[in-house]
């Protein structure tokens, strides 16, 4: 299968302003988070892109995108993440599609694209593939997680057998242990998937049956029981910009993987040295 379309979701009440924030990208250029995400998508040679947004913000998003070829779809009622993805069903049609969330940024080593590798694997394997990352047990409340078996001869590829949304440590230990991972680590979603249109069919049925409680994780859990569904372990890093210091951590990661790395490191060392030499009792006093 060929991946030509992408859906970015950015409609959640606590998420809708995040893609409009401005950062300095690895090339030293000032860009919105949304523009950085669009460039991430296009690095995988995916050119048809839609962004699912809340009502009344399309104009701001269009400015932030700086790209007239992006389509915007409104989620008129805030019915959750899974429903926001479902809002793109007319855009997706019968095609497989790349999906990213609007509150994550992705930083790879040596400028490598996380999306390019994911899209290539999905096209080669002809099935849905979710990007995952080994994540500490303490972060389980933030992510959906998968359980499954490593595919023979492919160190970073797993056949998904189970998906649990924000599992407890006990649930993870009982159902999501994967051989070869460090103790206390589990494969959690990276915020990036390639999905077949079958996922939207499952969502359609679930949303028609219940107005709340439908998640992408429980939809993917059902998908795993119906067709081949794989997970690709990423070595790049994901940065959730919606958590405390999230934007700061993402900006720092971009800077340390970009053209201004040496200058940023020097400035960081200067800040640390200044703090360590500040006389006791002086720090934090106002004028």
Residue ranges of domains in the chain, CATH in brackets: 5-277 (3.90.550.10)
Q: What is the pLDDT of residues 135-156, one digit of tens each?
A: 999 999 989 999 999 998 888 9
What are residue 192's phi and psi, to 5 degrees?
-150, 125
Mean pLDDT of the 211-230 span: 92
Mean pLDDT of the 101-130 span: 91
Q: What is the pLDDT of residues 190-211, one digit of tens each?
A: 999 999 999 999 999 999 998 6
Q: pLDDT category, 286, cuts 50, 70, 90? A: very low
Residue with tokens 């893609």: 19
Q: Which helix (H) or strand (E) holds 214?
A: none
Residue 239 pLDDT? 92
Residue 114 pLDDT? 86
Q: pLDDT category, 278, cuts 50, 70, 90? A: low
Mean pLDDT of the 260-284 span: 74
* Contact yes or no for 11/75 (Cβ under 8 A): yes
Q: pLDDT category, 112, cuts 50, 70, 90? A: confident
Residue 281 pLDDT? 60
pLDDT-above-90 percentage for the chain = 75
* Contact yes or no for 78/153 (Cβ under 8 A): no
β-pairing, 237-240 with 104-107?
antiparallel
Residue 279 pLDDT? 63
pLDDT at 121 over 80: yes
Residue 13 pLDDT? 86
Q: Give the Cα separation of 199 and 285 in Å (integer).
A: 56
Mean residue pLDDT of the chain comes to: 91
Residue 218 pLDDT? 94
pLDDT at 287 over 70: no
pLDDT at 39 over 90: yes
Q: What is the pLDDT of residues 158-169, one digit of tens each?
A: 999 999 999 999
* Contact yes or no for 247/23 (Cβ under 8 A): yes
The two three-digit tokens of residue 9, written as one number: 């979701």
Q: Could you tell me the sign of the dihedral formed by the alpha carbons of 195, 241, 110, 31, in that order?
A: positive
Q: Give the Cα separation of 241 and 111 in Å (integer).
A: 20
* Contact yes or no for 148/233 (Cβ under 8 A): no
Neighbours of 63 (CB within 10 A): 11
Residue 149 pLDDT? 93
pLDDT at 276 over 70: no
Q: What is the pLDDT of residues 42-88, one digit of tens each?
A: 999 999 999 999 999 999 999 999 988 999 999 999 899 999 999 99
């Amino acid at each position: 299968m060929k991946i030509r379309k992408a859906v970015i979701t950015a409609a959640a009440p606590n998420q809708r302003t995040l893609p409009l924030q401005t950062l300095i990208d690895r090339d030293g250029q000032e860009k919105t988070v949304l523009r950085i995400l669009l460039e991430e998508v296009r690095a995988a040679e995916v050119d048809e892109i839609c962004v699912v947004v809340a009502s009344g913000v399309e104009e701001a998003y269009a400015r932030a995108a700086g790209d007239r070829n992006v389509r915007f779809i409104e989620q008129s009622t805030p019915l959750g993440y899974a429903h926001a993805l479902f809002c793109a069903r007319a855009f997706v049609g019968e095609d497989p599609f790349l999906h990213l969330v609007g509150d994550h940024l992705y930083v790879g080593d040596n400028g490598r694209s996380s999306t390019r590798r994911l899209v290539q694997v999905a096209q080669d394997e002809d099935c849905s593939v979710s990007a995952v990352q080994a994540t500490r047990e303490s972060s389980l409340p933030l992510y959906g997680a998968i359980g499954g078996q490593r595919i023979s001869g492919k160190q970073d590829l797993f056949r998904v057998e189970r998906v649990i949304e924000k599992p407890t440590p006990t649930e993870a230990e009982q159902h999501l242990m994967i051989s070869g991972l460090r103790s206390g680590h589990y494969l959690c979603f990276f915020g990036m998937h390639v999905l077949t249109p079958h996922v939207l069919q499952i969502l359609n049925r679930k949303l028609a049956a219940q107005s709340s409680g439908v998640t992408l994780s429980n939809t993917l859990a059902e998908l795993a029981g119906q067709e081949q569904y794989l997970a690709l372990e990423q070595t790049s890093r994901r940065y959730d910009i919606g958590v405390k210091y999230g934007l700061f951590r993402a900006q720092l990661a971009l800077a340390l993987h970009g053209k201004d790395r040496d200058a940023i490191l020097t400035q960081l060392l200067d800040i640390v040295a200044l703090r360590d030499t500040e006389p006791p009792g002086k720090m934090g006093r106002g004028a």
